[in-house]
Amino acid sequence: MIGGAFFHWQPTPMKITFRCDPALIDVLPCPVAAKAALPDWLRQMAPRMPSAVHQRSIRTVKQCPPFVDAMAHGFMVLLPCDVRVDHGRFAWDWPVAAASVAGHPRAPLSFHVPEQIAGSPLAHGTQSAIKFNSFWTIELEAGWSLMAVHPINRDDLPFRLVTGLVDADSFHAVGINFPAVWTDPSFNAVLPRGTPIAQCYPVPREALELVCEPMSEAHVGQFETVASQIMAGPGVYRKGYRHKRGAV
């Protein structure tokens, strides 16, 4: 309190700058906040379902804040055009203007040969890995790296993105490509333009200090209090501990 007034501290927004070839600025889907790309199945889920085990209606993951907040965290990179998949063959028809930047990708996909993932759990025989080409460069503020993961809780997508961490505060002159493994051999359809292909968020490059210790008497008291509140009814975390996410 200063001069009788209370001030509410708000964190400074993290600035993330996306740049693309000027020739493509009007045709590329821009990255979007992840909360703007939540899937239809989440919106359509029932908030409660009857449980034979519990003999009553119970809450679904739609009412689980950590589940939903994880899906809404960071931003999504989107597929730039429709991609047709037919028995493992990929095709697209994307009549965009010629790139004005030398060395810029033209295709939405390219591929990694199977040998690049041989010996890892990602390998599926002689199947190649796909690579979602990047049409946007991503610049973060100094001291931050970019974590790229498969869109969280999106097992409905027919591929699995390979997780990667890039120091995008220094590496941002070119785009970051996103390798993935195609996991649904029965998928013979169109992967539509705008499909989320990578969920990204900044992480600080700070050393970690890991401390393991027994609970103090005060910690034991706090544990027992919160545990009893959780056992007494729902909404404890959401009402008392969850922080409101900032607008994007």
pLDDT classification of 55: cutoffs 50, 70, 90 = confident
| Choice between 115 and 10, residue whose per-residue pLDDT is larger | 115
Write out pLDDT tens, residues 135-171: 999 999 999 999 999 999 999 999 999 999 999 999 9
Specify the amino acid at residue 227: A
**CA-wise closest residue to 74 among 206, 198, 161:** 198
> Are 132 and 79 spatial neighbours (Cβ–Cβ below 8 Å)?
yes
Distance in angstroms (rounded) separating the CA atoms of residues 224 and 230: 10
Residue 54 token pair: 């519990």
pTM over 0.75: yes
Least confident span in 32-46, 94-108, 137-151, 173-187: 94-108
What is the reported pLDDT for 122?
A: 84
Name every residue whose Cβ is closer than 8 Å to that of residue 132 and which is 6 or more positions away in sequence.
77, 79, 108, 109, 161, 177, 178, 179, 180, 197, 198
pLDDT, averaged across the chain: 91
What is the reported pLDDT for 7?
A: 52
What is the reported pLDDT for 247?
A: 47
What is the reported pLDDT for 10?
A: 62
What is the reported pLDDT for 105?
A: 87
Per-residue pLDDT, averaged over 186-199, amounts to 97
What is the reported pLDDT for 244?
A: 81
pLDDT classification of 128: cutoffs 50, 70, 90 = confident
For residue 39, pLDDT over 90 is answered with: yes
What is the reported pLDDT for 248?
A: 43
Does residue 5 sit in helix, strand or coil?
strand
What is the reported pLDDT for 46?
A: 93
Distance in angstroms (rounded) separating the CA atoms of residues 25 and 30: 9
What is the reported pLDDT for 1?
A: 45
Per-residue pLDDT, averaged over 169-181, amounts to 96
Domains, the chain, with CATH or none? 17-94+104-204 (2.70.40.10)
Per-residue pLDDT, averaged over 192-214, amounts to 96
